[in-house]
Each structure stands twice: as structure tokens, then as C-alpha cells.
Amino acid sequence: MSGQNTKIIIFNCLCLFLCGCANFPPAKTTLSAFAKQQPNIILITISSLRADHTSSLGYKRETTPAFDDFAKSNFLFTNAFSASSWQMPATASIFTSLYPSEHQVTHINNRLSEQVTTIAEILKANNYFTAAFCCNPRLTSENGFSQGFDIFDDYSVNMVLSAMNFENQQAIDINQQRTNDLINDAAIRWLKINTGKPFFLFVHFYDNHWDYLPPPPYDSLYDKDYHGTIDGRGIAKEPLYSNMPSDRDIEHIIALYDGQIRQTDQDISEFLNFIKEQGRFDDSMIILTADHGEQFYEHGNTSHHGIYDELIHIPLAVSIPDYDQTGVVDSMVSSVDIMPTILDFAGIEIPPESQGKSIIPLIKAEKKTTQDYIIAEYSGGAVADCRAVRFNDLKFIARDGQIFAFDLSNDPHEQREIRLDDFDQSTASQFDSIKDLLIDALPESNK
């Protein structure tokens, strides 16, 4: 038997196996009176999507037509911020409504503790069927993210890729593979088979993460005339990580990144269209957001390490079933607000330890704001540990044993640090209101 025929047979068998896996454990097939009153909840996160590369938030390129259509028909939050700038702490904060210093998923070897309560655990305890589909190498059951999920599929994408490359397993790099279509296949297969209600579905689209290798036609969509050596690989490794190439090369890196955004947006469109075809769109609460942003040498590096706005400012759009209003909300909100928002809408008590707040009052225009500032934290080892407290016009940061600020009104790209000793009266007054949050982040020797 030829190697190619063997590969086809293994791949077909694997697909049959995964179809079976999608129905295990069995879903609830009957609707209780309680379930009929509860919305389905669908939480979609996109890897590494910065807000200022989203066309509905003012980007020059039409990168996100599906996101834009969804946002226009529902609620768009223009000032949403992640609690951290990389996958593990950012998603743990979404799942727990805790900042990284509380849930402690601050390094790649820190798993999410079973002592921490997740949104999936709460919803499961309230008669929801819970399912997740992802392939991020950090967002795994081994790292504790499966807590509360009846199904946590962090394996099927890798199994399919392995089956298709079984003769050269070492050549598989998830960061250089097309995975969104496989995530769609797995999630849609589950939705087709599991018709019980209510359900909580988490789907993570990973392809927007580096390396930047969008498939045709997205690979040349925004930069057809480039003839340099940058091909989208090795963006987060030396020498490219901290050695800025030419302006023309950076333009091409960004064009490839934008191509991945457009590809991912198309994949999300296919997923949302399936939900509509199933008749589940109008009776589901759908939250569409990013885990964190990305950087392109604005502060010296690529990838996503730190707490500058290009890393923590994220797109967020929310649909509310049986609510005929739409709108744009400019108030600051945080990724730690997602869990309280879901629970508030589902009529479930919000745990008192939650550090976020429901944004339902903003959607219903009952309040103009739910908080005066947001908090973001970074602890990952690539750059110095830091904590930020961000107001609309000022951003305070504790890092390297020091406290400094950025005047966002006059320096929106955070290029001019204002040292603590140079704070004017207004800045000092605002700092005094939150100084304990920053002093607490300093080493003992600097407090």
C-alpha cells in the first residue's frame, strides 16, 4: 500500500472517530422549563487581534467585515481592554473574572488552579451543557482550562494535523498551520449533533497568532508588490523579535497580519452563518472578542509581551437575544467583565470574589459607566513584570521598581513616560486615588 493511500485511510478513520467524540458525553435532548428560559451562550475569542486593526474601530483597511456586521447589529464596545497581553492569563481572566495576580496563571508553567471557580463551572451547576473547541498550545486541559466543561476539545485539530503529516510529525508547528477551518468543523459538528439547551459554547480561533502565514488570497491581499525576504515566519523569534527591520519590511509584516485577520474574519462569518441557519442566532447571547493584541516594534519588540495599549486594547461586540436595541458603548470595560455579564444576563448570582462588573447596565443605558479605570498585568518573563491602571486620559504603570504615567490625551501611543516626581497636580491627584494598586505591584524594596 502506498504512503499516500495509507494517509488517506488514516485521515478518514480519524474523521469518523472525531464524529463519535463530538457526541460524548451525550447532550441534554429534552428542554426543561428552566432551560427554555435560559439563553444559549456563545463566547468566541480571536487570538492576538488588536482593536486598532479592526475596521469598525477605525482601521484604514477593511479587515473585519463579519465582525463589523455583527457589531453594527448589536453592541460594539470601543474601549474594551484585556487583563493581560498573552493567552494564558488573558483567557484565565475571561473565565474567572479575576486579574492574573489573583488567578495566578502568570507563567507558562502555572496552571489554572482547581480552587478558582470558572464560568463553565458556574453554568454547568446551573443546568447548562458546556463545550469548548480550541487548539492554542497554551489553552489546554493540562493547563487547567477545561474546568467545568463537559467537552473540552483541545485535541482534534492536532490529531487531524498529525494524521495528515504522520510521516513527518516533527514538521508540525501549530503556529504555521491553518487551523480555523478545523475548529469550525469540530464546533459545527458538535452543534449539529447536540441539540440540547441551554448550552455554553466557547470557541477560540487561533490562526491570527504569529507566525503570519495567511493562505491565498489573503497572503497578498494588502501588499501585492513586496519583493523582500520577510515571509511571515520567525516574527516572534530573534533576530526579528527585537531587531527592527526596515520600514518596508514592517509594512509587509503588518500586511500579512492583516491578511490573517481577514481570513479569520471569514472563518468567523462561516461559523455565525451556520448558527443563523440552525435558528440559534436569535436565542443566543453571543460575545465576540479577542484575548489580547499584538505589537509591531511600537515599543521595541514584536509578539505580545507588556501592557501598552496595542497589546491590551481589544475589540468586543455583544448580542442580546430578544433585545431590539443596538448601540456603540464608549465606556471602558475589561475582559474580567465578561463572566459577570454572562451570569447577570442568565439570571445567575455573580460570585462575590469576581473583580469584574456586568456590562448589562451599559447595554440597557441604565448607567454611563461601571468603572473609572481598568487594570492590566503582565508576568511572563519576556519583559519586566508590570501592572497598569488605565483611566480614559491617563495610564499609570508600575514596572522595574518604578511608577510612571502616560498622558493619553496628548500621547496616545505611549511614547513619553512621565516619572512620578514629574506628575503635575492633576496627575498626582488622580494617582492618589489608585496608588495602593500600583505600590502593591512593586518589589518590597521599592515600596
How many structural domains does the chain have? 2
Specify if 384 maps to a domain.
no
Instruction: Give the per-residue pLDDT at 43.
Output: 98
Task: Tell me, yes or no, whether 341 and 434 share the same domain.
Answer: no
List 204's β-bridge partners, or say none.
45
Same domain, 117 and 229: yes
Q: Are residues 275 and 404 in the same domain?
A: no
pLDDT of amino acid 38: 84
Strands 327-334 and 75-81: parallel
Range of the domain at 368: 3-372
Residue 229 has what pLDDT? 94
Domain end residue (candidates: 372, 403, 429): 372
Domain boundary among 307, 339, 372: 372
Q: Does a structural domain hold residue 382?
A: no
Q: Residue 151 in 3-state DSSP?
A: strand
Residue 447: the pLDDT is 61
**Distance from C-alpha of 364 to C-alpha of 192, rounded to nearest angstrom:** 33
Among residues 283, 274, 110, 271, the alpha carbon closest in space to that of 202 is found at 271
Q: Cell 508600575 sits at which residue?
A: 398
Beta bridge pairs of residue 202: 43, 132
Residue 313 and residue 420 share a domain: no
Q: Order across the sheet with 75-81: list the strands.
A: 151-153, 129-133, 199-205, 40-46, 284-290, 313-319, 75-81, 327-334
307 plus 440 within the same structural domain: no
Residue 398 and residue 368 share a domain: no
Q: What is the pLDDT along the chain (447 residues), one digit of tens a residue?
A: 444 444 444 444 444 444 444 443 333 333 233 334 689 999 999 999 999 999 999 999 999 999 999 999 999 999 999 999 999 999 999 999 999 999 999 999 999 999 999 999 999 999 999 999 999 999 999 999 999 999 999 998 888 887 776 556 556 788 888 899 999 999 999 999 887 779 999 999 999 999 999 999 999 999 999 999 999 999 988 999 999 999 999 999 999 999 999 999 999 999 999 999 999 999 899 999 999 999 999 999 999 999 999 999 999 999 999 898 999 999 999 999 999 999 999 999 999 999 999 999 999 999 999 999 999 999 988 899 999 999 999 999 999 999 999 999 999 999 999 999 999 999 999 999 999 999 988 876 566
- 74 lies in a domain? yes
Same domain, 46 and 157: yes
pTM: 0.90
Report if residue 381 sits inside a domain: no
Per-residue pLDDT at 446: 64
Identify the residue whose cell numbers are 469550525. 184
